[in-house]
Amino acid sequence: MHSNVILKVEGIGKQYRLGLVGTGTITQDLNRWWSRVRGKEDPYLKIGDTNIRSEQGSSNYVWALQNINFEVNQGEVLGIIGKNGAGKSTLLKILSRVTAPTLGTIKSKGRIASLLEVGTGFHPEMTGRENIYLNGAILGMTKAEISRKIDEIIDFSGCLRYIDTPVKRYSSGMTVRLAFAVAAHLEPDILVIDEVLAVGDAEFQKKAIGKMQEISKGEGRTVLFVSHNMAAVKNLCTRCIVLENGTKTFEGDTEKAVDYYLNSGVRENTSRFINREPNQGSDILEINVLKEDQLADTFGFNESVNVSFKISVDTEDLSAKLGFKTIDQFERVVFSSNVLLSDVGITKQGVYNVIVKIPASILMPNQYRLVVGFHIHKKKLIRKLNNVIHFIIEETGSGFENYQKDDMGCVSLNCIWESQKQI
C-alpha cells in the first residue's frame, strides 16, 4: 500500500444463502470442499442474484456485496451512504472482521475499533463500569490503559449517575453513549461507526460528531461513517462512497455524493398518484402536479407549481382538513399548508377537485417531495401519504447557479427593501 493509505479494499464480495440456515447445506459444503481439493473455483460463486431486497429472486444465493474497491488515506473521514439493504452494514462488518468476505482482500494498518450495533460487546447483567473494562478488552485495550482513561470515558458518556448500575437497566441511548465513549477513547487508527448514533439525542450526536472531527483532524486518525443523516455526513465526511444493491455506484466529493444519492431516490413519473384501493367514504383518490393544465415534474424557478387533489367526501367528514408538508432533498421541512373543506366551498358529500398553487420564485432550486394528509383535527385520520409526489425546481431564472444549494436556504422571499438618505 502507498505510505499514506491506511485501508485498501480490493474486489470485496459477500454471498449469503437465503432461507432457513442449515437446510440442505451439507451437500453444498461437500461440493465446495471437493472443489478446493481439486484446486477448482467454488461452484457457488457463479450463481446468486443481485441484492435487490424488494424483488423476488431466481436463486437461493444473493450477493450482499459485489466487487467493492476503494482506498482510505490516514486522517480521512469516509462516509458510506445508501438505502436500507444496500450493503453498508455488511461492508462495515467485513472491515471490522466480524464476518469474512466471500471474495476479495482487505489490507489495513493499525488497530480498528468498531461501533456497529447498540449493545455490541456489552453484558446486560454487568454494570456500566464493568462493561467499560469488558468492551475495552474486546476492542484491544489493556486494563491499565482503560483504568487510565475510565474517568474521561465516563465523563464523555454522561452516564456517571448510572455507571455502577447493570446495563440491562439502561435505555438504548445510554448504552450507545457508553459504547461510543469506549470506542472513541480507544485511540484506534481506524474507527468504524454504523448508524448507532441515530439512537442518541441531539446533544450527544453533536458531541459525538465533534469527537470524530477531533479524532480525524486533531489526531490524524481515520473514520468510516455510515449514516442516513445527510447533514451529519456533510458536516463530518471528507469523501463518500454510495452503495446501491450491493455495488458501489459513486465515489467522490461529499457534496456530489449526497446529491447523487438523493437524486437516485427520485422515481420516474412521480407527478401523479392514483389511489388503487380507496375507502368507501372519504379519501384521497388522485393527486396531480401541474404546470398550467399539463402534468409536469420539473419547473423553472419563476414558474408556479399547481397541485390538484381529487377527493371523495362523506357527510360525516365535512369538517376535515386537507394539507401537505413540502420536504427538500436534505430532509428539511420547507413549509406546510392546509385548508378546511368548508373554506373551499365543500359543504356536502361528493367528489371534488381541490387545487393549491405554490407561487413562483419562492422554492429554491432543489428536489421536493410531499407528505399529504386528509384528517379531522385530533379526531380522525382519513389518509396519510408519504412521499407519493416528487417534483424538481430548476435553476432556470433563479440567478443562484453559483451558490451551493444548502447554503441558500429553502425559500426565497421577496422582502420589502427601501433606503433612506441620511441628512
CATH number at residue 101: 3.40.50.300
**60 belongs to a structural domain:** no
Does 121 or 93 have the greater pLDDT score? 93
Q: Are residues 239 and 91 in the same domain?
A: yes
- Among 18-32, 248-262, 317-331, whose mean pLDDT is lowest? 18-32
Give the DSSP H/E element, type plus range, for residue 43.
none
Which of 264, 280, 309 is at the close of a domain?
264
Q: What is the pLDDT of residue 308?
A: 95
Q: What is the pLDDT of residue 258?
A: 84
**51 belongs to a structural domain:** no
Q: What is the pLDDT of residue 219?
A: 76
**221 belongs to a structural domain:** yes
Say if residues 162 and 174 touch (Cβ distance below 8 Å): yes
Q: What is the pLDDT of residue 350?
A: 94
Q: What whole-number percentage of the chain has pLDDT above 70? A: 85
Q: Are residues 96 and 145 in the same domain?
A: yes
Q: Are residues 80 and 188 in the same domain?
A: yes
* Cα–Cα distance, 43 to 251 (Å, whole number): 31
User: Which structural domain, as residue segments, surrounds residue 178?
Assistant: 71-264
Q: State mean pLDDT over 319-336.
A: 90
pLDDT at 33 over 70: no
Does 58 or 293 have the greater pLDDT score? 293
**217 belongs to a structural domain:** yes
For residue 43, name the pLDDT band (cuts at 50, 70, 90): low
| pLDDT, mean over the chain | 82
Does 268 or 259 have the greater pLDDT score? 259
End-to-end CA distance of the chain: 71
Q: What is the pLDDT of residue 163?
A: 92
Q: Are residues 239 and 276 in the same domain?
A: no
Q: Are residues 224 and 310 in the same domain?
A: no
**19 belongs to a structural domain:** no
Q: Are residues 288 and 335 in the same domain?
A: yes
Q: Are residues 137 and 240 in the same domain?
A: yes
Give per-residue pLDDT as tens, 222-244. Answer: 889 888 877 788 888 889 999 98
Which of 232, 264, 296 is at the close of a domain?
264
Q: Please choose, from the candidates 241, 239, 249, the residue with its C-alpha nearest in 3D space to the C-alpha of residue 73.
A: 239
Q: Are residues 191 and 245 in the same domain?
A: yes
Q: What is the pLDDT of residue 303?
A: 92
* Cα–Cα distance, 248 to 253 (Å, whole number): 14
Please state the pTM of the whole predicted model.
0.60
Q: State mean pLDDT over 21-29.
A: 56
Which of 223, 239, 264 is at the close of a domain?
264
Q: Please choose, from the candidates 51, 25, 48, 24, the residue with its C-alpha nearest in 3D space to the C-alpha of residue 248.
A: 51
**183 belongs to a structural domain:** yes
Q: What's the CATH code of the domain at 387?
A: 2.70.50.60
Q: Are residues 255 and 332 in the same domain?
A: no
Q: What is the pLDDT of residue 116?
A: 74
Q: Are residues 251 and 384 in the same domain?
A: no
Give per-residue pLDDT as tens, 120-153. Answer: 678 889 999 998 998 888 877 788 988 998 999 9
* Cα–Cα distance, 356 to 337 (Å, whole number): 9
Say if residues 28 and 40 touch (Cβ distance below 8 Å): no
Give the count of domains, the chain. Answer: 2
